[in-house]
Structure 1
Amino acid sequence: MSTRTIAGTSVEIPTLGFGAAPIGNLYREVSHREAVDAVVAAWDRGIRYFDTAPHYGLGLSERRVGEALGGRPRNEYILSTKVGRLLRPNPAPTGRDTDGFDVPDDLTRVRDYSRDGVMRSIEESLDRLDTDRIDIVYIHDPDDYWAEALDGAVPALASLRDQGVIGAYGVGMNQVEMLHRFVMESDINVIMLAGRYTLLEQGAAAELIPACIERHVSIVNVGVFNSGLLSKNRVSPDATFNYERAPDDLVGRATELAEICEAHGTTLPAAAIAFSFQNPAVTSVVLGMRTPEQVKRNLDLTEVPVPGALWDELRHRGLIL
């Protein structure tokens, strides 16, 4: 797996990463064995970047990643997690988590973007991951916590980076506007951009990506299938976009993309992955993976040829920028 350097750091990040939200039981339960086997399968296929977060399954994803990577040489892989949600005992459990993960709700998420919150979050993540260091730390979804994140998390993580405790830090969000502010108003090294720079949607191309280039901020691109709409060769009428049923106009556009891909001898999901790397600002792509079978499919997709003529036609038709 090839690597690229996160801007302003010595962190060499593989161009393809394992997104561990699904093995935190995102939307449905995954057996412990299958989840660990998925990480092992990714390792066996050469993946050396693993991304997780306390939010994913109330710590379940971090614990599973830690177990699966246990005993492997720590200097041979890159590990990222996130801060902003501390996990604390739930004073009023109802039985199951109501935030998208099929897990018991004996814990609850407490938003905390303060310096102390960041330090506690990292310490607790290190314990769940059973490791001695985290390479990249992202401030997670600070949409309603701009001031707290800028005044608390940013200087705390910058200090940890400058001390060499972590290798790099950044912000991970599903929106463009606040990511742009972080790029322009802080010294972050990297953003995790979720769903806003894809074959279907290029909202980040107008201001955010040029700002990243100007400010020397790397981009880890995630959500390249737009939560399902671009994940299959043929688009299903009930496909999802932004984790909800896709509107008819987007289903129609994705169908047009799929037909053009097929005419060029490739597939929609293969092109959806390859599209990210048409922009030199994208350092890595992280794909969510749930099972060994999904790992195999995703890795196989990266080997499907995507001809340059496809991008020319899509630009000519106004389907990509």
Structure 2
Amino acid sequence: MPRRRIPRTSVELTSLGFGASLIGNLYRAVDDETARAAVDAAWGAGVRYFDTAPHYGLGLSERRLGEALRGRPREEFVVSTKVGRLLEPREVPLERDDDGFDVPGDLGRRSDYSRDGVLRSVEASLERTGLDRIDVLYVHDPDDHWEQASREAVPALVELREQGVVGAVGVGMNQSSMLARFLRETDVDVVMLAGRFTLLDQRALDDVLPAAVEQERAVVAVGVFNSGILARDVVPDDARYDYAQAPPDLLARARAIAAVCAEHGTTLPAAAVAFPLRHPAVVDVTLGMRTADQVQRNAELLGAVPSSGTWGDLWSDLDARGLVRPGSADRL
């Protein structure tokens, strides 16, 4: 599988990354064997970039990922995790987690973007994963914490990078404007951009992507299916967009894009995976994967090509029909 290097670092990511939130029991539980089989299948498909976070299943994702990678050549894979949410025992435990993961609610999350909080989070992640190092560290969702994240969390990560403890540092968010600020105003190497550079949403062309090119930094694209609306060949009536029911206008546009994809001999999800990788700043598309079957499908999507021509022909056609932002096919 092709690899792309994060500029200014020696860290290289495979074009497809394994998003480990689902093996942290996001929305529904999977057993240890299923989770392990998914990681094994990803390895067999050539995936060597694995992304996790303490938030995912209250540490379950980190533990499962670490166990699945144990014994594999350490120099062959890259693991990223995140800081900004500390896991702490609840005074009154919940029966189940209340933040989307099907796990016991004995732990809670506390936002902490301080230097001390970052160091504590990294230490806990190393213990849960059992790894000797974390290759990429992201500040996780600092939307309401710009001051502390930019003045304490990022500098703490930069210290760890300069000490050789981590290979690259960055920020991950569901918005693009603040990510552009991190790229321009702090010393991050990479940003994880969720859902803002997709077939349905190209707003990152206004801020994050130009900033990444100007600053010679990298972008990891996630959420490329926009919560599911772009994940199937045929868009269902109950498709979700950004965690909510998709409105009629977006359903209609997704279906129109799917029809153009079919004309070019490809599918909507294959195009959704290929679209972000066309930009020179994007080094990887990371997809959530729960089972070995999902891994196989995602690897096939990455390798798909339109039977009637090139991806460029499809992007130009979508542009000409007004289904992507005017001129966006010409700007990359």
TM-score by length of 1: 0.98
Cα deviation, 1:109-148, whole Å, max 9, x if unaligned, reads 0111111111110010001101100000000000111111
Does the alignment pair 1:148 with 2:152? no
Which residue does 1:286 correspond to in 2?
286
Which residue does 1:92 correspond to in 2?
92
* Aligned 1:85-234 pairs, distance under 5 A: 85-234=85-234
Which residue does 2:49 correspond to in 1?
49
TM-score by length of 2: 0.95
How far off its partner does 1:94 sit? Answer: 2.3
Cα deviation, 1:192-236, whole Å, max 9, x if unaligned, reads 000000011101011221011001110000011111000000000
Cα deviation, 1:225-265, whole Å, max 9, x if unaligned, reads 11100000000010011111111111110000000000111
Query: Which is further off, 139-148 or 298-307?
Result: 298-307
* Aligned 1:75-90 pairs, distance under 5 A: 75-90=75-90
Distance 2:86 2:54 in 1: 7
Tell me the amino acid that sits aligned with residue 182 of structure 2: F
SS at match of 1:93: strand
Distance 1:188 1:147 in 2: 15
Q: Contact between 2:196 and 2:203, CA under 8 Å: does it hold in 1?
A: yes
SS at match of 1:149: helix
Distance 1:297 1:5 in 2: 25
Tell me the amino acid that sits aligned with residue 313 of structure 2: A
Distance 1:258 1:248 in 2: 15
How far off its partner does 1:40 sit? Answer: 0.7
Distance 1:82 1:303 in 2: 29
How far off its partner does 1:183 sit? Answer: 1.0
Distance 1:52 1:224 in 2: 17
Tell me the amino acid that sits aligned with residue 230 of structure 2: L
Runs of 4+ in structure 1 off by over 3 angstroms are none
Tell me the amino acid that sits aligned with residue 2 of structure 2: S
Cα deviation, 1:135-194, whole Å, max 9, x if unaligned, reads 000000001111111111111011111111100000000001111111111010000000
SS at match of 1:233: coil
Query: Which is further off, 4-13 or 116-125?
Result: 4-13
Which residue does 2:58 correspond to in 1?
58
Distance 1:213 1:303 in 2: 26
Q: Could you tell me which runs of 5 or more consecutive residues in structure 2 were left unpaired when the two chains were aligned.
A: none
Does the alignment pair 1:29 with 2:29? yes
Q: What's the % identity of the aligned pairs?
A: 59
How far off its partner does 1:303 sit? Answer: 2.0
Distance 1:262 1:172 in 2: 33
Q: Contact between 2:16 and 2:302, CA under 8 Å: does it hold in 1?
A: no
Which residue does 2:74 correspond to in 1?
74
Tell me the amino acid that sits aligned with residue 112 of structure 2: D
